[in-house]
Structure 1
């Protein structure tokens, strides 16, 4: 119950309670000051603080100048968590104990009332200043009040935590710990700071201590979940999230009403459960939890945000962008939602909009790690880029025209963006085959332009070929993604890089045309079909077709197994060519890709600023 509610109830009791009026046959003086003071003390000793408040309030009204009545009334108000009301009663003689409670209340107020994101720390900064001044005053008292000092230090830890001055919060907690064990609420704030400083193992111990004092402490359990995720203890994180779900029924009974009311903690627990699977590289499990809820609660901003985050993890960037835009429209001042929207805009190639939003957010929350990662991605986008690829290959058999083992390498240097969509690049490629005792080499040097839009990628390149055969060439390709599931691509090449080196050695070139279609049910289930035709200058026409499928069959934290079955077929119209050229060719393959992350540690980063 808030202090304002408590005070309002107290005033109502004072005005409406029958005992506030003289009993039958009782004179006003007999039931006045002394009797009310005695009655109030008896009620307070019996644990009836509201009854005591009523009696002390009426006694103080009879003798407004009586110091004992004012002090008794202020003491009860302090016990009821209404230090502002106590300060009004004692004014102007407000002692340091009441002022300390006022500063502590300002700390809690500062974490709840910020409406302007750019000034969200204003009240907290004021509270930090007040607490610092009160600490100086308390330490200068003739008789040291250890309890007062510890309470001030504890509130200062909370304020520094809320201000995101993590290192200062830890240092203050260490000072408080020198005088004895930390109170549970301070230990929890210390764990929050430890987690922010990327010390999750230490944070886990702090949250567990806070939960040992109060197993129903929801905030401590949520903090424990994020610390376990950061420490990559995913089994424990799943268990913590499932415990929160179990402790959060859909409805709850509030007060004396018999009608159950919706429980807001239930939806929060479902979102946390989804996050646990998403962070653990199991987005399909997150989708199963969250997707049915998103259609039932379309106006819940953080539900829409998590729905979009999961969509992004599943390889659906358009749906992710749409969902996060909805979340932002519902809560435009929420920095985490705005940051996620900037990331979604970056993924959808709305680079200028992402840059604009990132600049605005940096002015509000410069210490945001997620925003710093986005800014690093934007810096990479704005800069020049260098791409290098090497592809060694081993081949045996195939007859006299077999290509043999070899190596292919490609290097591309891109300029910074020209406008928002275009880049110019220079390219160099080298292909080496070593059939038998020969060494066949082809070098290609080229220059081109690339255009990138949200749904379309265009590339045009002019080539100069050297080595076995000096001749010009060109490539053109267009890729179109009409939605999150389909990707279509067409391409044409003059003097294709797919021309076998044996053919180039014989002075033969091949032009190529290709078309492909890819359908992704999700990032974990993708099928593609492609067809290519090569027109050789010796009159041969080659047709190639590839059908492949990729399916993630195991998805666990740090472990992923992907199976890739593929079918290849080709046909050539010409026989007895001086290069590997079977009339018909078919192959079936199955590839298993196993990824197991053995260890990962993010760098420790922390920022703080003076109040």
Structure 2
């Protein structure tokens, strides 16, 4: 207790400017004639007994208020004890008592303290950067003062300013100043490299950030935040082989929060918490979403009032394809802490996915107004503009079939190309649509051509999306074409769809060669339990002009078999069956047929740089096809494709496919290609 009383008294004296309790003043006055013990004070300072020295200084300053030497010792001791802002304020009141070197050190220490304050969590958003702006203004004023006096700036001033500039989101200035200092043989010390690394990451320079952060970790291995920053730099370099072991090692090295069965709370271990939550997110980025979910859900159950945990769990749910569940978590996080930017960005993105732009817009606009320089907010706005802006799709496909004997519904050669356009979203629900396409196929020297132009309208709001098109073929065959489609999202996993089309554009070109068109009625259901699984069922009913009625049922399954940061392996399966009402149709129309196909798809992310990437996919499959009166045959297929994403919503894909299908018992070999350019989502 004596030491606690001594600390409390000394700090109170320092912060109150030396005011003493009446009894202390009386005691000091009794020693007025005694000599001031400078030697004893200096000795205590030499022994680093700052509290003892400060206590002795204050007792004698109460009597000798104008003693310059005591005043100087008081300021230096306050700086040594950590009250640097107070020390600088006292020094500025009597600067003549201090040497040039002491003045420079006190100025730098005081400014450094203001910089530390600028990183504290603000009481409200309106004042969150006030301390940083004040620190920046103080640095500028101090620099002007030094320039006016011809005094060289202390080296630490430039390093400290890097921290302030980072806090103010002036990241390019941080990068420029960092390069200048490195070139001038004044390498930035470890304590400022964390801010440098953060700015370089914001500027999307992960290689440079990783170098700076590696030096920072070496300089200060006890800082719990620096290894996490370094791990994110490695993630952004696509070096999961370095980032995941680093974060896993941090989790293992930090003791878990102990919890006794009857304890009201565990022992707080925030470095362990940071390591666990960031390791979980890194696993999510590396395609191990079930593992990430398994780490975060127990933590969120222990700390339901932790806004960051709720937002992190919302991000994982969004990655897993569960926007409704994600929105619930983001909303909870925003309620717990209205300053949580990631939670509000998550709300905008989930509400957009759920087609509720009317609810997302106020949050989006508020984020842009309050955080215009935040990298994540700018990224959110870019996605917002892409999702709501112009949409376009240009495509081309074709193939050549050999050895089929004329039975193929695709002909000897075939081509297809077209363009689809959609206007920007208006009234948060509507788009105007237009599309134009041309198809042709050669059947034993006769060419069947279909060229169609259509206009339409699209509607998307909440659970419902619908489209209506109307158009005509250039040759007028079949009359006006009308197509209506709709989809209904039941929840995050189930959805239904339906389509009705008069003079359908996908009707057989082989039938069209005989002047026959067809109408289509289709219903389907999809089940996506997570990002790793997808199942679908579709029933089609065709009504051809010649009286033929054709029914088809197809089932499909897509199941993830392997997930790695840059490689996804999925197993594929499909079943189908169909029947036609006419045996004498002048086009391929089996009375009964069925198929079963199984395959595997390898999806390799060969290169990625933030929003840009290059993927290659290889799909191998084989199955049995049965046709009434012709028996069963094995049908192999192979597909290889590339995908280039140049920016969000700017994707080019193209591929080659090979197969050996069988029609009316006649096997043919097909080699085809396709290409597609997508603009917008």
**TM-score normalized by the length of structure 1:** 0.87
The structural deviation recorded for 1:509 is 3.1
Shift of 1:567: 1.2
2:466 maps to 1:458 = yes
Partner of 2:223: 217
Displacement of 1:278 in angstroms is 2.0
Taking a change above 3 Å as real, the CA distance of residues 328 and 33 of structure 1, as seen in their structure-2 partners, is: farther
* Residues 503 and 518, structure 2, Cα contact 8 Å, conserved in 1: yes
Asked if the contact 2:392/2:420 (under 8 Å) is kept, the reply is: yes
Shift of 1:442: 1.6
Per-residue deviation at 1:286?
A: 1.7
Match of 2:273 among 267, 270, 284: 267
CA separation in 1, counterparts of 2:33 and 2:244? 62
1:151 to 131, 149, 156: 156
What's 1:549 paired with? 557
Map of 1:168 onto structure 2: 173
Deviation at 1:455, TM superposition (A): 1.0
Asked whether 1:483 is paired with 2:485, we answer no
Distance 2:9 2:577 in 1: 83
Contact 1:345 1:351 survives alignment (8 Å)? yes
Are 1:311 and 2:317 an aligned pair?
A: yes
Give the Å deviation of 1:33: 5.0
Instruction: Tell me, in whole angstroms, the C-alpha distance in 2 between the residues paired with 1:500 and 1:274.
Output: 51
TM-score (norm 2): 0.79
Is this contact kept in 2: 1:486–1:519, CA < 8 A? yes
Q: Deviations over 1:468-506 (max 9, x none)?
A: 834223222221111000011122222233432222222
- Work out whether residues 6 and 82 of structure 1, in 8 Å CA contact, stay in contact via their aligned partners in 2: no
Superimposed CA distance per residue, residues 331-379 of structure 1 (whole angstroms, 9 cap, x where no aligned partner):
1123332222222222222223333332222222222333333323333
Aligned to 2:54: 53
Q: Where do residues 168-567 of structure 1 align in structure 2 (5 Å cutoff)?
A: 168-177=173-182, 178=184, 180-251=186-257, 261-396=267-402, 400-403=406-409, 404=411, 405-467=413-475, 469-567=477-575
Distance in 2 of aligned mates of 1:87 and 1:6: 23
Which residue matches 1:11? 11
Partner SS for 1:416: coil
Distance 1:451 1:171 in 2: 48
Equivalents in 1 of 2:272, 2:158: separation in Å?
A: 34
Structure 1 pair 6–208 and aligned structure 2 pair: CA distance change class (3 A): farther
Residues 117 and 335 in structure 1, CA contact (< 8 A), matched pair in contact too: no
1:389 to 1:181, Cα distance in 2 relative to 1, 3 A: closer
Contact 1:173–1:186 (Cα < 8 Å) also in 2: no
- Sort the Cα spacing of 1:172 and 1:549 in 2 relative to 1 into closer, same or farther, 3 A: same
The answer for unaligned runs of 5 or more in structure 1 is 254-258, 605-611
- Aligned counterparts of 1:120 and 1:29: Cα–Cα separation in 2: 49
Deviations 1:105-141 (A, max 9, x none): 1122122153343453332122112112223333555
CA 1:449–1:278: 2 relative to 1, 3 Å: same
CA 1:260–1:399 in 2, change beyond 3 Å: closer, same or farther?
Answer: closer
Q: Is the 8 A contact 1:509 1:537 kept in 2?
A: yes
2:132 is aligned to: 124
Cα 1:155/1:61, change in 2 over 3 Å:
same
Q: Name the SS of the counterpart of 1:508 in structure 2.
A: coil
Mean Cα deviation higher: 311-320 or 441-450: 441-450
Whether 2:72 is the aligned partner of 1:66: answer no
CA distances 1:397-453 after superposition (whole Å, capped 9, x unpaired): 665443224233342222333422122222223222222222111222222221111
Q: 1:502 to 1:193 in 2, by over 3 A?
A: closer
TM-superposed deviation, 1:8:
4.3
| Structure (1/2) with the larger strand percentage | 2
Structure 2 distance, partners of 1:174, 1:402, is: 66
User: In the TM superposition, what is the alpha-carbon distance from 1:394 to its structure 2 partner?
Assistant: 4.7
Change (3 A) 1:58 1:483: same
Paired with 1:566 and 1:447, the residues of 2 have a C-alpha distance of: 34
Please say if residues 33 and 59 of structure 1, whose CA atoms lie closer than 8 Å, have aligned partners that are also in contact.
no
- C-alpha change, 1:269 and 1:357, in structure 2 (3 Å) is same
Q: 399-408 vs 587-596, which deviates more? A: 399-408
- Structure 1 CA distance for aligned equivalents of residues 35 and 563 of structure 2: 75
Distance in 2, Cα, partners of 1:495 & 1:265: 65
User: SS state of the match for residue 273, structure 1?
Assistant: helix
The 1:122/1:349 distance shift into structure 2, 3 A limit, reads: same
Hey, what does 2:641 align to over in structure 1? none
1:71-106 Cα offsets, whole Å, 9 max, x none, are 112211101110233246556204644333222211
Contact 1:100 1:134 in 2 (8 A): no
State the aligned residue count: 586
1:174, distance to aligned residue in structure 2 (A): 4.5
Quick check: 1:250–1:262 contact (8 Å CA) kept in 2? no
